[in-house]
Structure 1
Amino acid sequence: MGGRAAPASVLSALADELVVVHGQSDQLRLRSASAQREALDRFGGERVAGALVTYTECFRRWRELDAEIAELTENRDRRMAEAAALREQLAEIEAIEPEAGEDVSLNERAERLANSEELRQSAALARTALSAEDDTPDVAVLLAEARRSLERAADPTLAEISEALADLGYRAADLAGQLSSYLADLDESGPHELAAVEERRAAIGGLIRQHGSLDDALELWRTGSLRLAELDDDGDRIERLTTEAAQARAALDKAAAALTAARTEAAVRLSEKVTEELHALAMPDARLEVRVSPGPESTHGRDEVAILLAPHPGAEPRSVSRSASGGELSRVMLAIEVVIAGTDPVPTFVFDEVDAGIGGAAAIEVGRRLATLARTAQVIAVTHLAQVAAFATNHLSVVKSNDGSVTASSVTRLAGEQREAEMARLLSGLADSDAALSHARELLSLGSESN
């Protein structure tokens, strides 16, 4: 695409906008209600397209509201149970009022309280070593004696060491003070505090078991109120949504009526124009009617579109799926494309044996209509009828050959005598028949006049 590799899905989407392909299967497709509706919508142009877009948006909005109301109504019991459970969980968390990281700090505190006597002995021994309360020599005394001994010496190096000893003395005094505080804290702590810590750990542990982690419990505490408010608002919410749905339904009714009106108006014009085309396609007594009637509601509207054909005077219009033969269906399809091309132009049309089931004068008129369509678009037609091929401006002969081991197809552009010979072969099966060649030249002359 544009010189770049592209996925097949992209090419397919673009092809829908650039090329219309009609084969014998497409003639059968015209018998389906969806294809008939699509043909009418294409002919309706911007008015129908705009009305369809508005309807589709209204339909989508109404369906969303209706589905939301149904979900709230059908799951009301479940949501009530969820609200009750959430309310109980939030009350439990709020009663405990946990803090982030509290489980870790409680574990550390419990460990210390459980080993308080051993910790007290270790801390007391260390404090005594740093600063004894009796006359026992301690670190502070020894450091002071060492510093005084060095201060009496007149040596700069020893003076630096003396200053370092002074710093060590200050540090030892500071550490001794910290150990005193630690011991005082242990003295204040007792069995009653250990029991309180264990009780708190049990409460926090219950939250962790229920929610997976303390962080998850805190997150629920932070966000659960919003969810609970949403669940408790179900009654009011359903009432609000019901009001919105009623408004959306009214808008949908209005959009559906506008779409039906646009399709009905387009159906009248399409019926008249296609009927005129059918008269020119050797169906002088045929009458086509595009009927728009109420149908089931869907994303495409509330209309049922039917293309009806009355092939003979006095005949009641019947669906093309019942009243049209293969040849008549081919001409109906071609007539519709010719008419729609005036309002919904497509750059390229491909017709694969659109002339199936017809011949004679009808085939000539099919060729003439293809030539008319080719004035505003590129038309590629695959045909076995000389009457149709005569109206083309470029002829390509496709031939399949088999040498016994390999089957190959070749494409050759025909002009001049080659073109006349191929036309004669299509007419009579004989490429060198004088009568067939004369008839071929007559057809080519007729075709050139139309072009």
Structure 2
Amino acid sequence: MLRSLDIRDILIIERLELDFGPGLNVLTGETGAGKSILLDCLGFVLGWRGRAELARRGADQGEVTAVFDLPRDHPARAVLDEAGIPVSDELILRRVNARDGRKTAWINDRRASGDVLRQVSASLVELHGQQDDGGLLNERGHRALLDAFAGHDDLLGAVRTGWKARAQAARKLEAARIALAEVKQEEEFLRHAVTELDALDPKPGEEAELDAQRRLMQGAAKIREDVARAFSALGPEGAEGAMRDADRWLQGAADRAEGRLDAPLEALERAFLELGEAAQGVEEALDALDFDPRALEACEERLFAIRALARKHGVLPDELGSFAEGLREKLAALDAGEEGIGTLEADLKSAGAAYDKAAAALSAARQEAAIRLDEAMAGELAPLKMERAVFETRLSAGEPGPEGTDSVAFTVATNPGAPAGPLNKIASGGELSRFLLALKVVLSRGADTLTMIFDEIDRGVGGATADAVGRRLARLAEGAQVLVVTHSPQVAARGATHFRVAKSVSEGMTTSEVRALAEAERTDEIARMISGAEVTAAARAAAQDLLKG
């Protein structure tokens, strides 16, 4: 609900503070007093398209602040959350228009872009008038309005789910067909490559192992001769033999050496042990260095084959195995491709049938709702002195989509036998106002989150018809806040809060003022609306009768 509006230095308004109430708020005043300017100011702070220059002459900038009450379930909260703007039970919109034309907006003291401001305002305020180009006259929105009236969210949800499933099935089928076509183009390469890879059967880590073996065998050929010489030098013909001769000679002399040879003999015994370990290690190394030259040739041949295949396919040697698996999967897809395409085609057909069934159920529900909507409109039009007019909700086949297969259009025929057509092309100005009001009353039941503004929607009507308009606006305001700009005393008398707009000139400067009227002042204002500039006693009595309802 719009709680207050603060305007400073906008057009011919110097300073204005307005507090709005729940229910029906009416704005009256003489023609040219500035009622439309008030709506311009509200539209400006809401981010609507409007005049480029709004700052009052002589002021550096113009500023408008609007304060809304925001219930916890209000849809504006989701927009604010997504924009990262703090949310509370009070929403403050402020927008400034500088003298140079620059416009700056804040939402709860956070800078906000025009797009975010318009998204928020779309969930706060709805404007209706004879040029209702963004609402009920826009045929593109008629289907959504009919669905909201019908309240069949479950059927609509089923259609959306079915459309999504059908679209997913179609995408999978198309992707499979494209993939199959691509694989067929490289079938010969795939089969040759897989045969070649399967024949070689490279293993992860094998290239590094082969490279190490190759280097070892290449090095062995160079060092084995020296190792063999060393082994011979350590053996019986070398160091071992000389040491045994020395041990034998010393053992023979030890008995006569008075113990002087005991220590050397012990050291020699230790040397025999160390020499044995050295000879054993050299022998083992010699065995390890012993290889078949054909093994080196085989190692190099496989190593080079692996590396060549890796270069050919542009992968690392260790990735050849996974690369081959990928090629096998492509071949498997190719071999089973036609069968897979058939399965996906069956899936798409099944999803399409499910969507068609859900869409048919939704269409039937819309047909039934259209009849109820037309009946409800007939009930609203009769009191508005349009009992001869025919409102018809027409359903026709449209392009299938997530909202079903129906196109919906609201049409009217203002006289029996006259051709029906779109609202804005068939109805005159006064008739259009009444059609829009009736339609809004029917469609807006329970819509209590929006502040609805009706700009002179009663233009061109009077008497009993104007009274019917007032009664419907009041009834509409029972579930929502309504602001109406009116020249009709019958409508003004229905207001719960009444504002009078007046223009004055002081020192050559024209200003517009708006103030809330007390009960006695309302009588005078409605009397002025009845009789004109001179308020008569009869007009005042008539005004009092209107206020009594």
The answer, yes or no, to whether TM exceeds 0.5 is: yes
Query: Going by fraction, where is strand more abundant, 1 or 2?
Result: 2
- What is the DSSP-based 3-state SS (H/G/I as helix, E as strand, rest coil) of the residue aligned with 2:391? strand
- The answer to whether the 8 A contact 2:458-2:488 is kept is no
Aligned counterparts, 1:42-441, within 5 A? 42-46=148-152, 49-73=153-177, 76-121=180-225, 123-124=227-228, 131-136=234-239, 176-190=279-293, 192-209=294-311, 210-342=313-445, 345-353=447-455, 355=457, 357-361=459-463, 362-375=465-478, 377-387=479-489, 388-396=491-499, 412-420=515-523, 433-435=534-536, 439=539
What are the Cα deviations for residues 299-332 of structure 1, in whole angstroms up to 9, with x where unaligned? 2222222211111233232222421234433322
Query: Going by fraction, where is helix more abundant, 1 or 2?
Result: 1
Write the distance in 2 (CA, Å) between the matches of 1:438 and 1:172.
Answer: 142
Write the distance in 1 (CA, Å) between the matches of 2:505 and 2:200.
Answer: 90
Structure 1 counterpart of 2:306, one-letter code: I
- What is the DSSP-based 3-state SS (H/G/I as helix, E as strand, rest coil) of the residue aligned with 2:81? coil
Q: Does 1:32 align with 2:135?
A: no
- What is the DSSP-based 3-state SS (H/G/I as helix, E as strand, rest coil) of the residue aligned with 1:23? strand
Write the distance in 2 (CA, Å) between the matches of 1:214 and 1:444.
Answer: 99
Structure 1 counterpart of 2:342, one-letter code: E
Write the distance in 2 (CA, Å) between the matches of 1:225 and 1:408.
Answer: 84
Distance 1:370 1:318, change over 3 A: same
Distance 1:402 1:197, change over 3 A: farther
Partner of 2:113: none
Shift of 1:260: 1.6
Partner of 1:22: 127
- What is the DSSP-based 3-state SS (H/G/I as helix, E as strand, rest coil) of the residue aligned with 1:59? helix
What are the Cα deviations for residues 362-397 of structure 1, in whole angstroms up to 9, with x where unaligned? 44432221111122x122214143533332212356
Partner of 1:41: 147
Q: Does 1:7 align with 2:82?
A: yes
- What is the DSSP-based 3-state SS (H/G/I as helix, E as strand, rest coil) of the residue aligned with 2:151? helix
Structure 2 counterpart of 1:94, one-letter code: D
- What is the DSSP-based 3-state SS (H/G/I as helix, E as strand, rest coil) of the residue aligned with 1:380? strand
- What is the DSSP-based 3-state SS (H/G/I as helix, E as strand, rest coil) of the residue aligned with 1:434? coil
Structure 2 counterpart of 1:38, one-letter code: A
Shift of 1:274: 0.7
Farther off after superposition, 193-202 or 107-116: 107-116
Q: CA RMSD in A?
A: 4.4
Distance 1:261 1:183, change over 3 A: same
Farther off after superposition, 179-188 or 219-228: 219-228
Write the distance in 2 (CA, Å) between the matches of 1:418 and 1:217.
Answer: 93
Shift of 1:273: 0.8
Shift of 1:277: 0.7
- The answer to whether the 8 A contact 2:128-2:135 is kept is no
Shift of 1:271: 0.5
Shift of 1:135: 3.5
Distance 1:220 1:230, change over 3 A: same
Shift of 1:426: 6.5
Write the distance in 1 (CA, Å) between the matches of 2:150 and 2:120.
Answer: 21
Shift of 1:434: 2.8
Structure 2 counterpart of 1:31, one-letter code: L
RCO higher in 1 or 2 (8 Å CA, sep ≥ 6)? 2
Shift of 1:399: 8.2
Shift of 1:80: 1.6
Distance 1:111 1:421, change over 3 A: farther
- What is the DSSP-based 3-state SS (H/G/I as helix, E as strand, rest coil) of the residue aligned with 1:22? strand
- What is the DSSP-based 3-state SS (H/G/I as helix, E as strand, rest coil) of the residue aligned with 1:56? helix
Provide the TM-score with structure 1 as the length reference.
0.76
Structure 1 counterpart of 2:361, one-letter code: A
Write the distance in 1 (CA, Å) between the matches of 2:321 and 2:512.
Answer: 75
Structure 1 counterpart of 2:434, one-letter code: R
Write the distance in 1 (CA, Å) between the matches of 2:84 and 2:149.
Answer: 26
Write the distance in 2 (CA, Å) between the matches of 1:123 and 1:197.
Answer: 24
Partner of 2:33: none
Shift of 1:447: 4.9
Shift of 1:255: 2.2
Write the distance in 2 (CA, Å) between the matches of 1:104 and 1:411.
Answer: 90
Provide the TM-score with structure 2 as the length reference.
0.64
Point out where structure 2 has 5 or more consecutive residues left out of the alignment.
1-69, 88-115, 248-258
Distance 1:234 1:396, change over 3 A: farther
Report the count of equivalent residues.
Answer: 421
Write the distance in 2 (CA, Å) between the matches of 1:348 and 1:69.
Answer: 45
Farther off after superposition, 65-74 or 306-315: 65-74
- The answer to whether the 8 A contact 2:180-2:334 is kept is no
- The answer to whether the 8 A contact 1:22-1:352 is kept is yes
Structure 1 counterpart of 2:127, one-letter code: H
Structure 2 counterpart of 1:446, one-letter code: L
Distance 1:227 1:189, change over 3 A: same
Write the distance in 2 (CA, Å) between the matches of 1:408 and 1:231.
Answer: 81
- What is the DSSP-based 3-state SS (H/G/I as helix, E as strand, rest coil) of the residue aligned with 1:289? strand
- The answer to whether the 8 A contact 2:392-2:412 is kept is yes
Shift of 1:420: 4.8
Write the distance in 1 (CA, Å) between the matches of 2:186 and 2:220.
Answer: 46
Structure 2 counterpart of 1:434, one-letter code: V
Structure 2 counterpart of 1:380, one-letter code: V
Partner of 1:156: none
